[in-house]
Amino acid sequence: MDKQKPPTWRQRAACRGVDPDIFYPVTDEDAEEARAICYGCSVREACLEWALGNREHDGVWGGASERERRRMIRQRRRSA
Ligand code: SF4
């Protein structure tokens, strides 16, 4: 089986080199630091879509917490 290459947008991620713990907050309220980095990231949309498409359960991706991504998935299902 072919090994999947990491998505190319990751090379332009604003979170590269940043402490990963910031992106895995215990509560949504603790996610503000990660969100601030994501909102200034040039690949935020690609990152968020990747996380939604891969059902990434943990952490902040594309500026959205796990709970926010679950809500987005539900909304998309309803409007499909
Ligand atoms: S949107 Fe956030 S988590 Fe995604 S690559 Fe950018 S900084 Fe990293």
> What is the model's pLDDT at position 3?
54
**Nearest Cα to Cα of residue 64 among 27, 38, 33, 26:** 38
What is the Cα–Cα distance from 1 to 45, expressed in whole angstroms?
29
Domain ranges of the chain: 9-79
User: In the beta sheet, which residues pair with residue 61?
Assistant: 64
Site to probe by mutation for ligand 1, drawn from 33, 60, 61 as the one with most ligand atoms within 8 Å of Cβ, is: 61
Residues with CB under 6 A from ligand 1: 13-15, 23, 37-38, 41, 43-44, 47, 61-63
pLDDT tens track for 14-33? 999 999 999 999 998 999 99
Helix (H) or strand (E) holding 76: helix 66-79
Residues of the chain with pLDDT below 50 are 1-2
Residue 36 CA to ligand 1 centre (angstroms): 10
